[in-house]
């Protein structure tokens, strides 16, 4: 038996981690949820869902493959113990259906550069451009207050991509990737 087990969990089990520990403090769209257990204790959560932007799906893999694009949208641990995030990501990816393109982001505004994605061999495809969103008193741009003149900055995010399935699946999906893969990972304080 492994020291840490990773297995599917319910949406309800993700909520305390996402709402109370993760910096975003809001629930994303979740289609797959996995928990990391240390004995009987849930110590980490990793969730996947369809990206909020259909343009992102098309941009990553084209119109014909947009249905294959999923996002690792929350990664939360109750304690920051060395290598646990990497173990949780690696094992949860193996539990996803084969033949998926998975994207995730590291938010520069929170001093994240994506070391966990680098450690688990994701492909770095560059950073999003900084932009502005309409102001929202709730803090979420999709729930804006309607005043188009009030704008807030959205930070740049480092974008990483990986694939699920066999070596053959991954090779095919890599050939469908529309973004360039960069040779050098970003570095910085984390």
Task: Enter the pTM of the model.
Answer: 0.85
Ordered by where they begin, the domains of the chain are: 5-130+157-176 (3.40.630.30)
Half-sphere exposure of 2 (CA within 13 A, CB side): 11
Statement: residue 1 has pLDDT above 50: no
Strands (DSSP E) contained in 27-77 are 32-38, 41-49, 69-77
* Whole-number percent of the chain with pLDDT over 70: 84
Q: Say which residues have a Cβ less than 8 Å from residue 144's Cβ, sequence separation at least 6.
A: 133, 134, 135, 136
pLDDT at 110: 66
Statement: residue 87 has pLDDT above 70: yes
Statement: residue 130 has pLDDT above 80: no
Dist CA 127 CA 182 (whole Å) = 10
Mean per-residue pLDDT over the chain, rounded: 88
Statement: residue 181 has pLDDT above 50: yes
pLDDT (mean) for 71-80? 94
């Amino acid at each position: 038996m492994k020291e840490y087990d990773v297995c599917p969990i319910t949406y309800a089990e993700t909520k305390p981690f996402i709402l109370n520990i993760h910096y975003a403090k809001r629930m994303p769209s979740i289609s797959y949820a996995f928990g990391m257990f240390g004995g009987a204790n849930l110590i980490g959560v990793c969730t996947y869902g369809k990206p909020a932007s259909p343009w992102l799906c098309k941009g990553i893999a084209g119109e014909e493959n947009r249905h294959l694009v999923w996002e690792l949208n929350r990664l939360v641990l109750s304690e920051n113990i060395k290598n646990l995030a990497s173990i949780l990501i690696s094992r949860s990816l193996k539990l996803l259906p084969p033949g998926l393109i998975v994207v995730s982001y590291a938010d520069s505004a929170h001093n994240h550069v994506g070391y966990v994605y680098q450690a688990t061999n994701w492909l770095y495809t560059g950073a999003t451009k900084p932009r502005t969103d309409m102001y929202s008193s709730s803090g979420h741009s999709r729930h804006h207050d309607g005043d188009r003149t009030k704008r807030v900055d959205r930070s740049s995010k480092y974008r990483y991509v990986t694939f699920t399935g066999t070596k053959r699946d991954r090779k095919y999906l890599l050939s469908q990737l529309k973004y360039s893969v960069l040779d050098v990972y970003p570095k910085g304080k984390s």
